Structure 1
Amino acid sequence: MHSQTRFKAFITILLFLAIYFQSVAQSIDLKNATWIISPGITSPMKETAPAVLTEEIAKRTGITLKSAAAWPKGNAPVIAFALASDKTLLSRNVPASDENSAEFKPEGYRIVTETAGANKTVWIIGADARGVLFGTGYLLRHLKMSKAFMGKPLLELAGPTKVASSPAYPIRGHQLGYRSTANTYDAWTVAQFDQYIRELAVFGSNAVEGIPFHEDDKPSPHFKIPAREMRIKMSEICRKYDMDYWVWTPATFELTDKTKRQAELALHEQFYKECPRLDHIFFPGGDPGDNHPSEVLPFLKELQTILVKYHPKAKMWISLQGFDTEQIDYFYKYLETEKPAWLQGVVSGPGSPPMAETRYRLPKQYQHRQYPDITHSVRCEFPVEKFDQAFALTLGRESVNPRPFAFAKIQEKYAPFTDGFVSYSDGSHDDVNKVLWSMRSWDPQADVHGIMEEYSAFFFNHTVASAAASGIEGLEQNWKGPLTENGGVEMTYLNWKGLESSEPSLKDNWRWQMLVFRAYYDQYTRLRLIHEQKMERDANKVLAAANQGNLRQAMDSSLEIVNRPTPNLLAKDLRKWLEKQSDALYTSIGLQTSTEKHKPRNPERGVVMDFVDYPLNNRWWLADEFEKIKKMTDPDQQLARLKTIASWENPGPGSYYDDISSVAKGPRVKTISEDATDVAWWDNGMSRKRLSTQLFQREPELDYENLDPRARYIIRVAGEGDALLRVDGRRLSPIVYNKESETFKEWIVPLSLTQDGKISVTFDGPEESQLNWRKQSKISDVWLLKQP
């Protein structure tokens, strides 16, 4: 039996070696390759595609591939650029294919290897100039490259390769606004924009959107050149990579003002004249701006007349963002009656009508482009679902935010109603999301983990591709559900810490830096949260035991407890590391994470180091409440208030408490917070309000079970404004009804409703459409209190 086991092990090893050497034998070693390009590929792609290939290979291997004017003699490998329409390249046949193949469709390509005959050849065959570039991108994403693999440079393509592909959606782009509100772009040089746009093309993007005009009066202290110069440079870069150049151009003035209107038209004309390439003008209807479409549409028509003087094929687009029902109906009536040929299509972004509705109402001759917000995490179009408050208050709206699986689902849901997308982005922190959207819009069936592996292989190296891909996915999982319960946060941290140690050559790679930074930040926040929440529970025990004879002592003692820093040595090391790494990210990519050090536009723009130590318990609120209590003259009132504070989240046996929008403290809440009603932004993010008050919903729903059918219950609600409560569908009248923040409303629950041991609690939404969302009614805390 023992000999049989050894024999089986021997056979297994032989099979493994056979597969390995077969794979090696089929791979093509390109270290000594030359490249040849078809004369049918015209400038600038004739220069661009080989430059992208050779320069990116040189960075990763130290090998500089040379061009050749003829097929080399012998067995030397060749990378050949050709068009699908080419029959031959320098007298050698281009591999034939069915005319229905992907490389004959716009932007399509085919990659095929030939290992028999005179030369080992890797063919990049494009349907057009863009197809050649995207084929080059595919090759770069699948090459194994290293400067020192087993002591030698590595440049190898696994073979045989035969793949053909063309994009599912014709519009695939990203907004790169060189403006003061960006958290990185405003610090970039022309060379950095060139490199980034190149990398977007490698992953299938074909468009870039800029931000002209309205930023000229608000220059960033980080600008390397004036905004006016940069937008022209971006146009030149787009021409170089054959990328569509879009510009986002709102009108933030009244279009009825003839003087301002003429000045705006003059600005546009000057810009159009200066741009070497300009393909699309996108005018957001009402975000920003407040003009009726009866003014907007004639203005755009006039703009189009000017635009085509300088760019005959350029197109005009509009979004219906911020339009009310009457304005939307006016727009569609205009299309029906005027049938404007000058309009190319409609853009759907935050605040637009539903995308399905837009596509169904929009006549077929007009295109429909999505404008997805891939850059924000809260107070946005696609907020993180079940986001722990600790992250919402520290990482906030604009942090490093890889969300590959979430955005794959969102893209899959909305893309079928569109012709593609150009994303809303305000910095490099959403880089993973850009690649995900580009690749899934090229191929909606592309495997998400596979995309992450290609991302990691190209930007890091092929040896860590799988581990880094899993690490990126781990960062997304960190944001799901209650943070204190998510032990995966520590595993993700340990994964990235191990990768960081094993790959020191990547320490200055800004993408690597961002991902490692998030892993450390998440771990630090979790350690703080666990400690600070425990300290608050301990402090509340002191308050619960207080009496009139030791009120001040109880308050002082509880405040000392709740302010104790974490004794965890790892947390202290993490805090020092985050400080150092945040500065490294500012150096490498211009990421502005600290107001004091990096001078961002405002704290909401990804300034996570301002909030890295924001209280994750109620110590600020407690300090303020204690000051109020000390000013009270009635000891009974003082003690009653202390007891209310002590029992806020622990109302006693048989009673229940829910923090309405907290995934950790709202177990009976069925509804999920959405968009701007999720996390408030008070005092530049430094609010001293109770943490539960900073989370709220308008119309929450809660279910209670296992109630005592003999007991009387009272429902208590904290929030602001109105709360129109129903129990089991029955509207109840309150016995207490205070509308101020952190005051209470109360209702007695009829015994008839609790006889079955369960109730459902809902709230009607008060009519407040005339109010800004920040002033509308809010519900933050709900108690079901069992009476003695």
Structure 2
Amino acid sequence: MKTITKFWAVTIALIALISCVNEDQEKLDLSKANILISPQIKSPIQQTAGEVLVEEIEKRTALHLRVSDKWESNTTIAIALENDNELFGKTPPSKSNSIPEDLKAEGYHIFHERDGNQNIIWILGSDTRGILFGVGKLLRLANMKDGEITINSSINISEAPEYPLRGHQFGYRNTANSWDAWTVEQFDQHFREQVLFGANSFENIPFQKVNSSPHFKVNPQLMEVELSKICEKYDAEYWVWTPAPHDLTIENAHQEGLDEQEAFYAKCPRLDGVFVPGGDPGENHPAQLIPYLNDLSAILKKYHPEAGIWVSLQGFNKEKVDYFFDYLEQHNPDWLKGLVYGPSSPPIALERKLLPKKYLHRFYPDITHTVRCQYPVDNWDQAFALTLGREPCNPQPLMYTDLFVRDSQFTDGFITYSDGTHDDVNKVLWSQLGVNPQKDPKEIIMEYSRFFFGEEVAEEATEGIFALEKNWDGPIISNDAIKKTLELWKRLEVDNPQLAENWRWQQLVMRAYYDAYIKDRLVFEKGLEAEAYKILAQAETIGADEAMHDALQQLKKATIEMVSQDLKEKVFVYGEKLFQSIGAQLSVEKYRARSAERGAILDFIDYPLNNRWWLEDEFEKVKELDSEEEKLARLDFIRTYDSPGEGSFYDNISSADAEHVTSKTDDAIDFLWENDGLSRKRLSTQLFQFTPTLEYHDLDPNTNYLIRVSGFGEALLRANDLRLVPTKYEKGFEEFKEFPLPKDIIKDGTLKLSFDKPDEEHLNWRKQSRVTDVWLIKR
């Protein structure tokens, strides 16, 4: 099902490097080239290819190249199909110079030929898609600036995609944090750009209500048809994500769902795939879902005979999974085209193993979210999670390259899950890895920067994008890269005013300012909290009430003596720019974002990065205590919450600086979301894992230890694989369970803690047991 071998992928990469990276190579001037396009290329791609070349070159150079049917220039860009016998009287190069035999579907070959005094850049496609991908490669490699376009004269590149399906979801709905503000023309340009980087599929989410977004410029029922037309223009597949009725057991739900779908299918000029998620949303058992899909397929074939029905098993328990695969084995249905692997599906390798070979396996990777998602940011500081949240600008070329290589091997390709423009770098990365999984991510980002920002800034912009990913690696306070990243982007910002209105540039520069502001705030506010605890340590001397008053005055400096306001101001300037350029909704109140969790990073830029809110609430509780002795005891507990004393240890389970935690959550639902993100709980309470593991070394085997656990619900604790019996077992947030540790199990001074998972499959993850804090207390 993949179209080239690993050998060819490596060969292609080497050819590209040899042909295009050598700075000493002769440059071929294309500024006066004419463009010849084979009449054998079927419409509309014949026209589209010419438009794309002419328009994208003109945008970057102000040169207007002409499409012709005559060999009338000394320099020509000749575009033809591999099997064309002639192009306006000239015979294309022989097959020996053309696309290698096993580089077929969607492949292309770009090379330079000198014919007498004439220089020809040939773009030969194995099919119409190959034509557009070849045009894209030429545009990504060309050196373009005002009044000039050149290419290395020794260019000789052959390439064809390894994964046949490479696409992205673009739901025209209010859930996305920008697309609902777009026009048809903006979608056309954006789809074009994605195609030029190797995408061949786009997935919409139809059936949106006209008044569901204040930003709609086009009736969503009209836009869903316009997106189909755009896909036809670029020979890209048009998919739709359309859940079944929530409960198919309700009378008439089955038929009403089919009727709605049929009306949509009838008006789409192109439709290639219908993806019906089994869950998220939906609670249907496959016993009801399968008959619905069967009937849906018949309606789909009526209007789009080549289109296919796809389904995911998201949220399915073991019984539902078994039912589904038993059905496939027994009935071998032809109405099903393939299975989609998405967040909360069964393990990807298991799905592929259980899926009969006649069915395709599509990946639905989440490249758009940072927390409470399929692929969390690895080792992310909580301060970023609290402020940048779930949908910030998130270029992560290194992380997503690793994930692509790990998981895509079990699939026939992907259409990614996206909810806005903030993951633009990740989209291009995935598209290019879908073409060649061995491609160096730095080469991909270099092409991205060259195409969107220009040759002169490409190298430094590439460095800046990787630097933004480095900003997110580990504890902020010890991350020296953050300020260096800001200085790089500030210099690029000043030196490149021509990019000031470029939305891709805007969101990258804004991220650099945002990250640096959060670092300055974190250092300042953690310092204030430390000073507050020093004041609380004097409570026995100055009295509990005065200690609390003075500690609060110290903490309130965060809102009075605010740091680095120049950085914050720049973030808001770029927030406004992004709203004007692409309708990015970075605030609920100011820009009418759908909700606080949908990219509203401006609303959280000053969220407390210490426990100020928690301490304010705790002090109010302390004031209600009856005696000074009780107040002092409680204040001492608050002060030493995460500092249990010499020989004892404390870990905030999912913090980037947790010392003893060895586990990571598998899908980043380890960050509590409540009160629209404005939780007043202790910061450590907002991080959790369901079943963490911890390791300790060099413990004193002659000492009595107590293990204390905080979290929610159950905590089935094992110490060196021995289930411990609690002496205290509270189940609420910021309540405690305590387990005496038998000395005989730590004779060698090592301790491994683990937690058995309770039987809570029937509960939503938000209600399942979790662990937030663990203490090992020397008694």
Give the TM-score, by structure 1 length: 0.93
Which residue does 1:172 correspond to in 2? Answer: 166
Q: Check the 8 A contact 1:252/1:290 in 2, yes or no.
A: no
Distance across 2 between alignment mates of 1:676 and 1:84: 47
CA drift of 1:676 comes to 4.8
CA drift of 1:558 comes to 0.8
1:719 matches 2:711: yes
CA drift of 1:732 comes to 2.5
Query: 2:578 is matched by which residue type in structure 1?
Result: L
SS of 1:160's partner is coil
Cα deviations by residue, 1:43-73 (Å, 9 ceiling, x for unpaired): 1001100101110011001011012221015
- 612-621 vs 249-258, which moves further: 249-258
Which residue does 1:44 correspond to in 2? Answer: 44
CA drift of 1:770 comes to 2.7
Which residue does 1:206 correspond to in 2? Answer: 200
Cα deviations by residue, 1:478-502 (Å, 9 ceiling, x for unpaired): 1111111111111111111111111
Which residue does 1:33 correspond to in 2? Answer: 33
SS of 2:558's partner is coil
Q: Check the 8 A contact 1:603/1:610 in 2, yes or no.
A: yes
Query: 1:422 is matched by which residue type in structure 2?
Result: I
Distance across 1 between alignment mates of 2:282 and 2:712: 30
Which residue does 1:749 correspond to in 2? Answer: 741
1:599 matches 2:579: no
Cα deviations by residue, 1:513-549 (Å, 9 ceiling, x for unpaired): 1111111111111111111111111111111221175
1:275 matches 2:268: yes
Q: Check the 8 A contact 1:708/1:757 in 2, yes or no.
A: yes
Distance across 1 between alignment mates of 2:258 and 2:758: 44
1:237 matches 2:230: yes
Distance across 1 between alignment mates of 2:23 and 2:689: 57
- 368-377 vs 734-743, which moves further: 734-743
SS of 1:247's partner is strand
1:226 matches 2:224: no
Q: Check the 8 A contact 2:373/2:669 in 1, yes or no.
A: no
Aligned pair partner of 1:472 in 443, 452, 465:
465
Query: Which runs of structure 2 are paired with 1:324-723 in the superposition (5 Å)?
Result: 324-547=317-540, 549-565=542-558, 571-664=564-657, 666-723=658-715
Q: Check the 8 A contact 2:663/2:693 in 1, yes or no.
A: yes
Query: 1:86 is matched by which residue type in structure 2?
Result: D
Q: Check the 8 A contact 1:232/1:275 in 2, yes or no.
A: yes
CA drift of 1:759 comes to 2.4
Aligned pair partner of 1:314 in 278, 303, 307:
307
Distance across 1 between alignment mates of 2:537 and 2:707: 22
Which residue does 1:117 correspond to in 2? Answer: 116
355 and 728 in structure 1: CA distance in 2 versus 1, 3 angstrom threshold: closer
Which residue does 2:244 correspond to in 1? Answer: 251
CA drift of 1:570 comes to 7.0
Distance across 1 between alignment mates of 2:248 and 2:701: 65
Which residue does 1:83 correspond to in 2? Answer: 81
- 192-201 vs 557-566, which moves further: 557-566
CA drift of 1:754 comes to 4.2
CA drift of 1:406 comes to 0.9
Query: 2:772 is matched by which residue type in structure 1?
Result: S
Cα deviations by residue, 1:9-46 (Å, 9 ceiling, x for unpaired): xxxxxxxxxx99x9677211011111111110121001
CA drift of 1:102 comes to 6.1
Which residue does 2:107 correspond to in 1? Answer: 108
CA drift of 1:168 comes to 0.3
Cα deviations by residue, 1:105-162 (Å, 9 ceiling, x for unpaired): 1111010112341311111111111111110000000011111xxxxx2211112111
- 90-99 vs 307-316, which moves further: 90-99
Q: Check the 8 A contact 2:99/2:126 in 1, yes or no.
A: no
Which residue does 1:96 correspond to in 2? Answer: 94
Which residue does 1:160 correspond to in 2? Answer: 154
- 222-231 vs 118-127, which moves further: 118-127
CA drift of 1:198 comes to 0.2
Which residue does 1:302 correspond to in 2? Answer: 295
612 and 391 in structure 1: CA distance in 2 versus 1, 3 angstrom threshold: same
CA drift of 1:476 comes to 1.0
CA drift of 1:567 comes to 9.2
CA drift of 1:423 comes to 0.5
Distance across 2 between alignment mates of 1:542 and 1:106: 71
CA drift of 1:182 comes to 0.5
CA drift of 1:100 comes to 6.3
Distance across 1 between alignment mates of 2:608 and 2:335: 54
Q: Where do 4+ consecutive residues of structure 1 move more than 6 Å?
A: 22-25, 566-570
258 and 713 in structure 1: CA distance in 2 versus 1, 3 angstrom threshold: closer
543 and 588 in structure 1: CA distance in 2 versus 1, 3 angstrom threshold: same
Distance across 2 between alignment mates of 1:66 and 1:24: 30
CA-based RMSD of the aligned residues comes to 1.9
Distance across 2 between alignment mates of 1:600 and 1:316: 33
How many correspondences in the alignment? 759
Distance across 2 between alignment mates of 1:431 and 1:102: 34
SS of 1:485's partner is coil
Aligned pair partner of 1:780 in 772, 776, 779:
772
Distance across 2 between alignment mates of 1:558 and 1:310: 70
CA drift of 1:216 comes to 2.2
Query: 2:673 is matched by which residue type in structure 1?
Result: W
Which residue does 1:188 correspond to in 2? Answer: 182
SS of 2:564's partner is helix
CA drift of 1:646 comes to 0.7
Structure 2 gap segments, 5+ residues each: 1-18
CA drift of 1:320 comes to 1.4
Distance across 2 between alignment mates of 1:177 and 1:300: 22
- 115-124 vs 516-525, which moves further: 115-124
Distance across 1 between alignment mates of 2:544 and 2:251: 68
Query: 1:778 is matched by which residue type in structure 2?
Result: R
Query: 2:317 is matched by which residue type in structure 1?
Result: D
Cα deviations by residue, 1:307-339 (Å, 9 ceiling, x for unpaired): 222212111111111222222222222222222
Q: Check the 8 A contact 1:102/1:164 in 2, yes or no.
A: no
Query: 2:59 is matched by which residue type in structure 1?
Result: K
Q: Check the 8 A contact 1:252/1:288 in 2, yes or no.
A: no
Identical aligned residues as a percent: 48
Query: 1:143 is matched by which residue type in structure 2?
Result: A
169 and 621 in structure 1: CA distance in 2 versus 1, 3 angstrom threshold: same
Cα deviations by residue, 1:737-784 (Å, 9 ceiling, x for unpaired): 222211222222233334433322222223322322222222211112
Q: Check the 8 A contact 2:164/2:413 in 1, yes or no.
A: yes
Query: Which runs of structure 2 are paired with 1:763-774 in the superposition (5 Å)?
Result: 763-774=755-766
342 and 747 in structure 1: CA distance in 2 versus 1, 3 angstrom threshold: closer
Q: Check the 8 A contact 1:103/1:125 in 2, yes or no.
A: no
- 117-126 vs 562-571, which moves further: 562-571
CA drift of 1:218 comes to 6.0
Distance across 1 between alignment mates of 2:697 and 2:323: 50
Distance across 2 between alignment mates of 1:762 and 1:320: 29
548 and 632 in structure 1: CA distance in 2 versus 1, 3 angstrom threshold: farther
Structure 1 gap segments, 5+ residues each: 1-18, 148-152
CA drift of 1:561 comes to 1.1
